[in-house]
Structure 1
Amino acid sequence: MPIRPLTPEALAAEIVAAVERAGPGHVRVLVDGAPPARPEVLADALVDPLRVRSRPVVRVSAWDFLRPASVRLERGRTDPDSFYDDWLDGGALVREVLAPLGHGGTGQVLPRLWDVEVDRAARAQRVTVAPSGVVVVDGPLLLGRGLPAELAVHLALSETVLQRRTPADEAWTLPAYARYADEVDPESVADLVVRADHPDRPALQTA
């Protein structure tokens, strides 16, 4: 597929334009990528350009919707299948963040559910999202879970780059990303695919 190199700023502008095309009402955006792809950086970069267009933004991290340690680590702290299957509380993410912005939803979202550091519920307050508001969720392994969204962006890394940039103490997660590529094929599921091997020189993959 054709690849179009962009600056990080131009990439953010392309995604903001895609949000605008998604409609004037609530838009749910997933920014999917392994930590070395820095999905949180791209997600943060969307906030100001959207607000300039009178689109209020609520930022949500999937890392704040993990299951309790008793569930998450039941098979050990370094089990890649557990990381893939059990860490993210996808049901809670839908219930508290994504479904409220869908048809007939309340428009009220809970931006944080679980404080992983202390392993207890976060004391977050619900936020009312304006009718033109956007929620941007970043995190790994988000696609293929049935998470409702108007726009899904996948930050793709080559296998070599993913291995090189993953810290040694997190290398146990690599089989989970290999499984993700094989079972979900996020590049075929996402609405936009960004080649992210070079963080300062991203490229948008176009059909």
Structure 2
Amino acid sequence: MVIEKIARAILNVQSPFVTRVAIDGVDGAGKTMFGDELGRTLEALGATVIRASVDGFHHPRAVRYRRGRYSPEGFYRDSYDYAMLKQVLLDPLSPGGSGQYVSAVFDHRSDAPIHPGTRQADVGDILIFDGIFAHRPELRGYWDLSVFLEVSFETSIRRLGARDGTPMDPLAPLNRRYIEGQQLYLQECGPANHATVVVDNNELASPCIGSTVAKTESPF
């Protein structure tokens, strides 16, 4: 089973503090479901899991849409507040960090800040963080292990339509914003080349491990 194989690889990571794991992929790749199942599997194996998502670190609408409501570049470059993400979550959970973290700071639906409170992480905890663009240069150095979920854009649009009621037409302005914005990311950052493992997730019920990055000692 793919999830259990990745969970056991995570447990084998030698981290001096919190083991930080990213689940990346385009919209509709199944990141949240994959992250939740991975977290449950790790907990069943005795680990303490911290769950967080990039969706808790959106910029306000005024920033997200400053290049235009349907701008692909705006989607890629302006969606998330990476400075805040690093300040309150990733830096505190990194080696030498305080361990005092906040898992989310903004609700994009209400376009307002949220204040869930500060928590304390312990040595040996595992952060499972899901979200698009997780292999941007300013983030990729944080991950002790990372997964890139590969799906076709056809699959992505179909899942988003079923989940969010968005148009099924890939040429619809909203879908062009998402697809072309994510194509910018794929071209500029090559996330599949930086992930520890690539998982084909076109079939949610039967993900399969694809390529792995050639690291000193690959866990796969």
Q: TM-score, normalised by structure 1?
A: 0.88
1:162 match: 156
Distance across 1 between alignment mates of 2:119 and 2:3: 24
Residue 179 of structure 1 aligns with which residue? 184
Q: CA deviation at 1:161?
A: 3.1
Query: 1:16-49: per-residue Cα shift (whole Å, max 9, x none)?
Result: 1121121254101110012311100000001222
Distance 1:159 1:65 in 2: 24
Q: Which runs of 5+ in 1 are unaligned?
A: 1-9
Residues 98, 149 of structure 1: 8 Å contact kept: no
1:150 corresponds in structure 2 to 144
Match of 2:40 in 1: 48
Coordinate RMSD, CA, aligned? 1.7
Amino acid at match of 1:153: V
Q: How many residues align?
A: 198
CA displacement at 1:194 relative to structure 2:
0.4
For the pair 1:22 / 2:13, whether they are aligned, the reply is: yes
- Asked whether the 8 Å contact 1:90–1:145 carries over to 2, the reply is no
- Please state if 1:191 is matched with 2:196: yes
Q: 2:41, 2:77 → 1: CA distance?
A: 34
Query: Would the aligned equivalents of 2:35 and 2:130 in 1 still touch at CA under 8 Å?
Result: yes
Deviations 1:27-75, CA, capped at 9 Å, x for gaps: 0111001231110000000122212333211111111101111211112
| Aligned-pair identity (%) | 26
Question: Residues 166 and 49 (structure 1 numbering): CA distance in 2 closer, same or farther, change over 3 Å?
Answer: closer
What secondary structure, in the 3-state scheme, does the structure 2 residue paired with 1:199 have? coil
2:59 partner SS:
coil
Deviations 1:152-194 (A, max 9, x none): 1100113443355443264121101212221111111111100
Equivalent residues of 1:60, 1:111 under 8 A apart: yes
- TM normalised by structure 2 equals 0.83
Which residue of 1 is the match for residue 208 of structure 2? 203
Q: CA deviation at 1:146?
A: 2.3
Instruction: Return the offset for 1:76.
Output: 2.1
Among residues 17, 25, 39, which one is paired with 1:33 in the alignment? 25
Stretch deviating more after TM superposition (80-89 or 11-20): 11-20
What residue is the counterpart of 2:118 in the other structure? 126
Structure 2 unaligned spans of 5+? 162-166, 213-220
Shift of 1:130: 1.9
Q: Which residue of 1 aligns with 2:2?
A: 11
CA distance in 2, matches of 1:116, 1:164: 22
Structure ranking higher on relative contact order (CA contacts 8 Å, 6+ apart): 1
Equivalent position of 2:95 in the other structure: 103
Q: Quick one: distance in 2 between partners of 1:116 and 1:145?
A: 24
Deviation at 1:82, TM superposition (A): 0.5
Contact 2:27 2:156 in 1 (8 A): no
